[in-house]
Amino acid sequence: MIKKFLASSLFLSVLIQTIAVDYSFSITAEERLEEVEKQLIAIANQIKQYEGDKTDLEKAILENDSSLKKVNQELSEVQKRLEAAEKALDKALEGYDESLNNLAAIQENIINEQITLGATKNQISKVKDELFETQKNLNSAKGELQNKAVDMYINGVMSPATALFINLSDLSDFLAALGYASAIVNTAYEIIESLNAFERLSETQTDFLSEREKEREEIIENLQVEEEKKNQISIEAEEYADEVEESKNRVETEKRRVENQKAAVLVERKKAQNLLTEANNQLAKLDAEHANLEKLEDAIQADIERLSSLGGVAPNKLTWPITGSYVSSGYKWRRFRGVTSFHGAIDIPGRTGTPIKAAAGGVVILARYYGLAGRTVFIDHGGGMTTLYFHMNEIKTSVGKTVVTGDVIGTVGNTGRSSGPHLHFEVRLKNPSSVNCSLPYLDPTSRGRMNPYCFLD
């Protein structure tokens, strides 16, 4: 089991280091965080499976996992708000651009209408000048005709009333019908023809001016319409501009939120990486602790099998090795210094120097400092039973010595891996099935560690 755990821990450590070191931009920070989260969960589960109960580190890992999920969810929500704000900004910009395009088209129409209006005004001004000249010529011709009419009256061609009030065209026909060859008549005839020409030109110019004036009024009306459109579109453009500005501010706000949330994610990621490092260190420590315990148990079992030689029947009763004390830690699963393991013994506390007695008669097969067990004594009671006494302050017996029940074999101490002065008392039996005990009596991790309560009075 330990070898499998070490192999899986090594693989997990390499995988975590690979993920932690990879800062390539080929994957996003969120994707790296997901990998870190997975590794944190894996380590938390492994610690839980390996040690049984939850550790402070495992709780920290799970809390960090929750924090990572929370900040990732918040980041996702902020990014959604940012996307919505950016879409609103794009829509506002689209409306603003369309308004500007429409405004430019209206402005172009206004310019074209103004150019046309200017040309029309120039035409009207020019024709007005021409009409003025025509009227001057017409008045001049009328005055000259009056003078010629007087001459014609004097020469007896027509009466004054006829000369002054006859229609010009009729007068022209009248004069032509007379057939006079006199210079006065010919001159009058020419004047009348000029008057007719000036009248026709005046009428033509007046009609032209009337048409141009109508065009000018229509152009002015068009300009007024275009100006109204321009004003309306300008208002819409201003509204879109306000919307664009508001959307821009919103986008900037959401971007700041995203950046702040990313910073929070990076903080949690840093915590996760620190937890990963701490988890790896603790797993390594656990490996070492378990390895030491395994080595100790292997050594104890090997020494018992090597040194035990008494035959016969194992005693069915044992006496308490310390008088007047109590049990501080029983025969059960427990956690000690970050390591969860089965405690196949009972711990009996006492002051340093308190006598420790043999629980039954037998032969001392081991009496020395024994690594994590501190100063230790093994007693072979025969029939495959051995009692073990750990953490002594002093050993008061020796290997090969025969002891009887109640003999002092040492004193309470705090040697080896111990949290305070006490006696760690074990009972091991080569054939556990030979015992009839109503209690949970056999250490589930094997090696024949029996429940001492099956034998103690």
**pLDDT, position 8:** 44
Lowest mean pLDDT among 51-60, 167-176, 196-205, 346-355: 167-176
- Average pLDDT, integer, range 39-50: 59
Taking alpha carbons only, the member of 87, 95, 99, 100 closest to residue 250 is 87
Q: Which residue has the tokens 């821009």?
A: 248
Give residue 270's pLDDT band: very low, low, confident or very high (50, 70, 90): confident
Residue 440 near residue 341, CB atoms below 8 Å = no
Is a pLDDT exceeding 70 seen at residue 337? no
Q: Over 50: is that where the pLDDT of 20 sits?
A: no
Instruction: Report how far residue 46's alpha carbon sits from residue 34's, in angstroms, rounded to the nearest whole number.
Output: 18
Higher pLDDT, 121 or 346: 346
Q: What confidence score (pLDDT) does residue 398 get?
A: 96
pLDDT at residue 302 tops 60: yes
Name the band, by pLDDT with cuts 50, 70 and 90, for residue 351. very high
Low-confidence winner among 145-154, 272-281, 394-403 (lowest mean pLDDT): 145-154
User: Which pLDDT score is estimated for 21?
Assistant: 38
Q: Please give the pLDDT value at position 311.
A: 82
Of the pLDDT bands very low, low, confident and very high (cuts 50, 70, 90), residue 446 is low
- Res. 153: pLDDT tops 70: no
CB 89 within 8 A of CB 251: yes
Percent share of the chain, pLDDT over 90? 19
pLDDT in tens, 62-99: 666 777 677 777 777 777 877 877 787 787 778 777 87
Over the stretch 214-243, which tens digit does the pLDDT of each residue have? 888 888 888 788 888 888 878 877 887 787
Which tokens is 420 given?
């305070």
Mean pLDDT over each residue of the chain, to the nearest integer: 75
Answer whether residue 450 shows pLDDT above 90: no
Look at residue 267 in the predicted model and tell me its pLDDT: 81
Does the structure show a pLDDT above 70 at 58?
no
What number is the average pLDDT over the span 161-182? 49
Describe the crossing of helices 29-51 and 2-21 by its angle, rounded to 10 degrees: 160
Inform me whether the pLDDT recorded for 404 exceeds 80. yes
Q: How far apart are CA 236 and CA 54, in angstroms?
A: 65
Give the count of alpha carbons within 13 A of 3, CB side only: 0
**For the chain, where do the domains classified as CATH 2.70.70.10 start and end?**
311-454
| 244, 248, 250, 255: CA torsion to nearest 10 | 160
pLDDT(273) > 80: no
Q: How does residue 24 score in pLDDT terms, banded at 50, 70 and 90? A: very low
| Overall pTM > 0.75 | no
Say whether pLDDT at 423 is over 90: yes
Which pLDDT score, from 0 to 100, does residue 447 have?
74
Question: Can you name the residues that pair with 339 across neighbouring β-strands?
Answer: 336
CATH number among 3.40.50.1950, 2.60.120.380, 2.70.70.10, 3.30.1300.10, domain 311-454? 2.70.70.10
27 HSE (CA, 13 A, CB side): 12
CA dist 450 and 443 (Å) reads 6
Q: Give the whole-angstrom CA distance, residue 169 versus residue 159.
A: 17
Query: How high is the pLDDT of residue 397?
Result: 96
- Whether 48 has a pLDDT exceeding 60, the answer reads no
Q: Of the segments 286-295, 404-413, 445-454, which one has the largest average pLDDT value?
A: 404-413
Residue written as tokens 């402070």? Answer: 56
Q: Which two tokens stand for residue 70?
A: 């929370």
Question: Which has the higher per-residue pLDDT, 380 or 446?
Answer: 380
Burial of 142 (0-12, 13-18, 19+ CB in 10 A): middle
The tokens describing 120, both together, are 């029309």
Span 284-300, mean pLDDT? 69
Asked whether the predicted pLDDT for residue 195 surpasses 80, the reply is no
Among 159-163, 264-268, 292-296, the range scoring the smallest mean pLDDT is: 159-163
Please give the pLDDT value at position 2.
36
